[in-house]
Structure 1
Amino acid sequence: MAYTIPETIRSSATAGERLLFRTLQTYLPDDYIVYYEPEIRGRRPDFVIIGPDLGIVVLEVKDYTLSTLLQINNDEWTIINRAGEQVTVKSPFKQARDNAFHIVDVLKKDKNLVHLEGKYQFQLKFPYGYGVVFTRLTQKDLVKKQLYPVIDPNLCLMRDEIDPDKESFSEEVLFEKILNMFVVPYRLRNPLTKEEIDAIRYHLFPEVRISAEFRPSVPYQDQILLSLHDIKAMDLHQENLAKQIGDKHRLIRGVAGSGKTLILASRAKLLAKEHPDWKILILCYNISLAQGIRQLINHMLREPDSLFDFDFTKHDGLADTAYGQIIVRNFHEWLKHDLKITEQQIPYILEKLEKGEAILPTYDAILVDEGQDFSSDWLALISKLLNPETQSLLLVEDRAQTIYRRKRSYAQDTGLNFQGRSKILTINYRNTAQIVKFAWDFYRTHSVLKNKVAHREFEGEIIAPQSTKRKGPEPVILKADHFATEMKEVAKQIQMLHNEKKVPYSEILILYRVKRTHLQDIIGVIKRALEKEQIPYYWLTENETAKRTFLRDDDKVKVSTIESSKGLDFQAVFIVNIDNMPFSLEEDKEREVSLLYIGMTRAKEYLYLSYSGESEFTKYLETIRKERQKMNAQRQKHG
């Protein structure tokens, strides 16, 4: 089965489009991608097929019948339209050809996707083609009406070639016809790699872009070509979710690191593009996460579709919270600034709204990140301020990251039924396999919710992560005799990562549970250790202003509480002073388990856990540390 984007075709599609969608999905190979009506730089071809051994084929779909066609030539067709009027339109073959060349023009500017020398210099490395699908005409119709001079049989698919219910249908013929719809008739010697397919998607669909190393374009034998490296794009599942969610309310439940926030931001950008008049609200619980989402959205909105127009040298601060029609707020900031109410007033306001006695701002789309942290009242308020015409509400959550006790029924809270409207993301893209396993083993060992785990397709409270195949070093466990020694070692490790592994300071995060106890000034010790090693740092959780104004990419190590790190990720994470977990004043141990799990899953590649005292969690870590020492000693003995 081919991978289709979106996963299901819209309900308003024609019967012919639905038939073709199902046929392509069912009969094309598993590693083919079929896009239905993708928006590509202002155009919407009906279907775009990308296959590793195929290249790219663009299909135009027409539901013409013989009686619809009045006069046709190579340039224009005179037809009877659905309203029964006689109109002249561009030939569907020209439409398909123009759409194919439009795509080729975009891709030919990437140095990695063209031949740099030889007969096909500056042409795409892979073939591209186009065709027309006539969903209500058969091959007999072409013969009967002698349409072959204008309708090239090699460039079209007829009803009997796409309908599996027809006796003459053949999977082999369908595939062969698509393989022959090429402008440049050559087969790929080597199939397109995943990197090349990601590069194609990166250029055609800006909403899937995550990052790329960009080298300024330079003239190459009179041609200006883009030079992109280390391209990272959403995977197909994430892209599908961002594009599929559009119709009304949706729930995405995903493991830590599955790209939930990225999907949410991409969805917001798509909605803003499709509905320029919509007022769009993004809400989350955390102040620092709200600032992180603002920066992500700001980057997405400022990046033009064509990378030739993008000034990659600009990294300016963010002054305002609204970009165009997208407003990003943490929940309490939204109450205060936009609704001019307090949390205590919510039940009273809900009553007033029910009776039609209150006037508050309304939104065409609301997207909620970290939905597990929102109480029933909050969700009820949000749903009351959603445009009833659009019902465009997206809730994103991971209940393994719940650190606030909320009892919940989304149907009751919002008045919307999410049955059949939710998706589960089980693959963790953020962390290495070693970090995922380490964090999940800890969570499973300590959580009282471990018996409510959802395994892949089963709906449950907590979703067990599946790791990507990305490997990395094992998490490091550091034990010291007191906290000052612990931080001295942490500072040394940071310098080693920075100098030897070339990890930028901006990609390093230090997490602590509490800033001060009766015994110790935790934050003071952290700051002194960093200053002694001359490590630049930014105390993210010093106060609300620090949370609201932090810049993700300034060249400084970030220092934060674990709570405020939700939704963020860094290449290297140091969780210090773990002997203060579970925190003595916290009655809810489950919250502490979730917090440490959250902290661990912020790390993309390097994770360090350190302590200089004893607690329930450090006893667990100490067991692992001693087991490792034992195994190392045995290895050396038998080495």
Structure 2
Amino acid sequence: MIINDSASQVENTSGAIATVAEKRIVYPPANAMSQLRQPLTAGEGAVLDLFMRELPPAWEIYVQPHMNGLRPDFVLLNPKVGIAVFEVKDWDLDAMSYRNEPSSSIGEHTRENVLRAARDGRVFDVWPNPVLQLRRYKEEIHQLYCPRLEQRNGFAVITAGLIFPFAARERVVSLMAPHQTKEERETYCQYSPISGREAISGGLLEQVFPESIRQSSKYMNSDHADDLRGWLMEPDFSVAQRTPLEMDPRQRSLADTRTESGYRRIKGPAGSGKSLVLAARAAKLAGEGKSVLIATFNITLWHYIRDLVARASDRPGWSNGITTLNFHEWCRRTCHEAGAAWSQEYSELFRSVPERPEDPQSRREWRKRWQPVVDRILNVDVPDLASRAVKEPSVTRYDAILIDEGQDYRLPWWTALRRAVRDGGECVLVADATQDVYGTADAWTDNAMVGAGFSGGWVQLETSYRLPDDAMEMARTFATDFLKKASTDLPKSEQGSLALHPCSLRWVQREPETDTTAVCANEILSMMERAGLDGLANADICLLTDDQQAGAEVVRSLRERNIRAVTTFNDRGVESKRLKMGFWMGDARIKVTTLHSFKGWESRLLVVHVSRAFTDEARALIYTGLTRLKRSVQGSHLTVVCTAPELANFGRRWPEQG
């Protein structure tokens, strides 16, 4: 968010300079407009210029806000007056064929009409209906994002306007009239304004937004504004994508250099920059024209690593030469590249395993009978096959292979991957033994790694740049009390750093077997309220759980409240590779996933659901969840909902009890 001070100059999208007479909130900042994921059109830029010049300064301007998965072009907010949402259409009505139809979208034409237009040499566009879009925005703002607005009179503070910067208003009104209700056209037309090029070119704000002249409304107040702001703010992850990576001298040295042998192993606690070093090294090597494979364990980590590489690179086409795969996907690709016989052998490994059933009882029986078989196939048989197939000359070789979350790998997996490195190539492995959620970290002892290609000891990173100090202290306490491998890899604060990152830590303990669906859903709703007050984005809220079925129930509960969530599992709790591939922190929805799938990620708004803590791997997984909190000068929040009795005493040490 940017607050423009008195008489400051702000560069607008058309390159002109707008002078703001008093303070105004504009989000994203004016200097970030050119870096929006979907760049502003010429018409949107002209509308933004008009709002910056003519709107009273008390009106906040949000451009392409992340509104629970909806993406209007503009939302305007004044805590004393009201809310406005606008869609801007750069349509040239002289350059296209169109007609009105009584359907859910303008221009929903038959195939014959489209073909006829093509034969006549006419452009024929299928348009989403902007009137229906605006109606949807308005209804959701009233019903969901400002739930404290009056049921009957709340609509009186919400304007939903349509702007055509390059078309005459008279033609636009005629085109849209069949899709508007009588109330929208006549009775309450000031709340559904339609404007054209005359208003934009003439700077006539009162035509674009008639309610802008209002000074106050008895139906609007700061509480409603706080409710809405949480839905308007851009996710922290999206903001971070526009900023270059910041690295300390040690991290920079590791990213810019290689060892004499080309092999390097790095370990460090959560938030110490291991993935950052890996990404920066990949960017440097790719910039030198070398081919790089970044191997992860989790599918969900792909997006995160690629975004880090993009931030580390200063060149266009940064992804050229970089391949990002999780280990088992690399195995599958390797077998397919090796030839038909290898591909057939790969397929045969899974042929005896029946599909996982959908109903819960059958699924439990399937897990008991077949999960050990699947685990052996994935952990032993597939890597062994890939280790042999990679020797085929048709398999892709790389100048460098970089492995993230190496503690999750087994030593034979590393051996298989090494064979895909060209002679004289480079291998980098980073790991954190305290996050040993699969019980594999013992494979990476110095004795076990004899012959693995490394010489010398591990490079140690110690400082955590992720965790707020209070959260770091609780994570250290948990590791000391519950983890076996916590002696050397605990996070440490920056030397001389000040406590500039406030955070709230809340523990909610429930009895075993408690249905925590409502508890988790209510904690998410509570965090949404906090986000609005602190100027944080609801889209940064993440629920992490060790129970897929419980997570699916929370998703269903949120959906009943019309709150959308992006998740890595479906309602039946079955993990889906496709959903994992689509899991991205920049998504405008609330995130719900497993603790396993969130390894490597971070967020400043976390709800962690814990149902078990009786094994070493389960406790390592909990530690991983506690260390996902990202510090922020605006504050961060971590709530743990726990039904594991082993952790009750630990939970009592937390500052806030639920």
Q: Please indicate the TM-score interval, normalised by the length of the shorter structure.
A: 0.5 to 0.7
Tell me the residue number matched to 1:449. Answer: 485
- 1:235 equivalent to 2:235? Answer no
Give the 3 Å change call, closer, same or farther, for CA 346–304 of structure 1 in structure 2. Answer: closer
What's the offset of the Cα at 1:624?
A: 1.8
Tell me the residue number matched to 1:501. Answer: 534
Tell me the residue number matched to 2:551. Answer: 523
- 1:601 equivalent to 2:638? Answer no
Tell me the residue number matched to 1:256. Answer: 270
Matches of 2:270 and 2:264 in 1, distance apart?
A: 19
Moved more, 333-342 or 599-608: 333-342
Aligned partner letter, 2:629: A
Tell me the residue number matched to 2:404. Answer: 369
What's the offset of the Cα at 1:594?
A: 0.8
Tell me the residue number matched to 2:436. Answer: 402
- 1:326 equivalent to 2:322? Answer yes
SS across alignment from 2:423: coil
- 1:475 equivalent to 2:505? Answer yes
Matches of 2:451 and 2:567 in 1, distance apart?
A: 41
Greater relative contact order (Cα 8 A, min sep 6): structure 1 or 2? 2
Deviations 1:211-260 (A, max 9, x none): 99944589xxxxxxxxx999862222221221123651111111101111
Q: Which of 615, 624, 635 is the aligned partner of 2:653?
A: 624
What's the offset of the Cα at 1:571?
A: 1.4
CA contact (8 A) 2:406 2:431 kept: yes
What's the offset of the Cα at 1:389?
A: 1.8
What's the offset of the Cα at 1:498?
A: 2.8
Aligned partner letter, 1:615: P
Structure 1's unaligned 5+ residue stretches are: 1-115, 117-210, 219-227, 311-321, 455-462, 517-521, 584-588, 631-639
Deviations 1:546-581 (A, max 9, x none): 1112232121111010000011111111102x2x11
Give the 3 Å change call, closer, same or farther, for CA 234–612 of structure 1 in structure 2. Answer: closer
Matches of 2:517 and 2:335 in 1, distance apart?
A: 46
Matches of 1:230 and 1:295 in 2, distance apart?
A: 11
CA contact (8 A) 1:403 1:591 kept: yes
The alignment of Structure 1 onto Structure 2 pairs a total of residues equal to 367
Deviations 1:507-564 (A, max 9, x none): 2211011123xxxxx2343124423554331113441101112232121111010000
What's the offset of the Cα at 1:330?
A: 0.3
Deviations 1:147-178 (A, max 9, x none): xxxxxxxxxxxxxxxxxxxxxxxxxxxxxxxx
Q: Which of 594, 613, 638 is the aligned partner of 1:582?
A: 613
Give the 3 Å change call, closer, same or farther, for CA 536–285 of structure 1 in structure 2. Answer: same
Matches of 1:558 and 1:232 in 2, distance apart?
A: 24
Deviations 1:324-355 (A, max 9, x none): 110000000111123436551543664677xx
Matches of 1:329 and 1:246 in 2, distance apart?
A: 24
What's the offset of the Cα at 1:358?
A: 6.8
Deviations 1:27-60 (A, max 9, x none): xxxxxxxxxxxxxxxxxxxxxxxxxxxxxxxxxx
SS across alignment from 2:424: coil
Matches of 1:478 and 1:600 in 2, distance apart?
A: 14
Aligned partner letter, 2:396: P
Tell me the residue number matched to 2:565. Answer: 537
Matches of 1:290 and 1:409 in 2, distance apart?
A: 27
Tell me the residue number matched to 2:599. Answer: 566
CA contact (8 A) 2:399 2:421 kept: yes
- 1:292 equivalent to 2:304? Answer yes
SS across alignment from 2:630: strand
Give the 3 Å change call, closer, same or farther, for CA 548–414 of structure 1 in structure 2. Answer: farther
What's the offset of the Cα at 1:419?
A: 3.6
Aligned partner letter, 1:476: R
Give the 3 Å change call, closer, same or farther, for CA 433–213 of structure 1 in structure 2. Answer: farther
Matches of 2:507 and 2:277 in 1, distance apart?
A: 33
Give the 3 Å change call, closer, same or farther, for CA 259–612 of structure 1 in structure 2. Answer: closer
CA contact (8 A) 2:507 2:657 kept: no
Deviations 1:412-445 (A, max 9, x none): 6583453436311110001111111111101110
Aligned partner letter, 2:402: L
CA contact (8 A) 2:471 2:505 kept: yes
- 1:430 equivalent to 2:466? Answer yes
SS across alignment from 1:489: helix
Give the 3 Å change call, closer, same or farther, for CA 327–614 of structure 1 in structure 2. Answer: closer
Matches within 5 A, 1:403-422: 403-406=437-440, 407-409=443-445, 415-420=451-456, 422=458
Matches of 2:480 and 2:331 in 1, distance apart?
A: 36
- 1:514 equivalent to 2:560? Answer no
Aligned partner letter, 1:595: L
- 1:547 equivalent to 2:580? Answer yes
SS across alignment from 1:394: strand
Matches within 5 A, 1:203-352: 214-215=31-32, 233-245=246-258, 247=260, 248-274=262-288, 276=289, 278-298=290-310, 300-301=312-313, 304=315, 323-340=319-336, 342=346, 343=378, 344-347=381-384, 350=387
SS across alignment from 1:323: coil
SS across alignment from 2:275: helix
What's the offset of the Cα at 1:467?
A: 1.8
Tell me the residue number matched to 1:610. Answer: 640
* TM-score normalised according to structure 1 size: 0.52
Matches within 5 A, 1:85-104: none
Aligned partner letter, 2:263: H
Matches of 1:426 and 1:213 in 2, distance apart?
A: 37
Deviations 1:2-32 (A, max 9, x none): xxxxxxxxxxxxxxxxxxxxxxxxxxxxxxx
SS across alignment from 1:251: strand
Matches of 2:386 and 2:558 in 1, distance apart?
A: 48
RMSD: 3.4
Aligned partner letter, 1:477: W
Deviations 1:493-513 (A, max 9, x none): 222133111222332211011
Aligned partner letter, 1:434: D
SS across alignment from 1:591: helix
Tell me the residue number matched to 1:464. Answer: 490
Aligned partner letter, 2:531: H
Matches of 1:412 and 1:449 in 2, distance apart?
A: 16
CA contact (8 A) 1:410 1:416 kept: no
* TM-score normalised according to structure 2 size: 0.51
What's the offset of the Cα at 1:388?
A: 2.0
Give the 3 Å change call, closer, same or farther, for CA 482–545 of structure 1 in structure 2. Answer: closer
Matches of 1:628 and 1:491 in 2, distance apart?
A: 16
Deviations 1:302-326 (A, max 9, x none): x548xxxx9xxxxxxxxxxx93110
Moved more, 479-488 or 245-254: 479-488
CA contact (8 A) 1:611 1:618 kept: no
CA contact (8 A) 2:612 2:644 kept: no
Identical columns (%): 23
Give the 3 Å change call, closer, same or farther, for CA 385–628 of structure 1 in structure 2. Answer: closer
Matches of 1:628 and 1:216 in 2, distance apart?
A: 39
Matches of 1:327 and 1:505 in 2, distance apart?
A: 32
Tell me the residue number matched to 2:524. Answer: 491
Give the 3 Å change call, closer, same or farther, for CA 359–443 of structure 1 in structure 2. Answer: same
Give the 3 Å change call, closer, same or farther, for CA 347–571 of structure 1 in structure 2. Answer: same
Matches of 1:345 and 1:279 in 2, distance apart?
A: 24
Aligned partner letter, 1:369: D
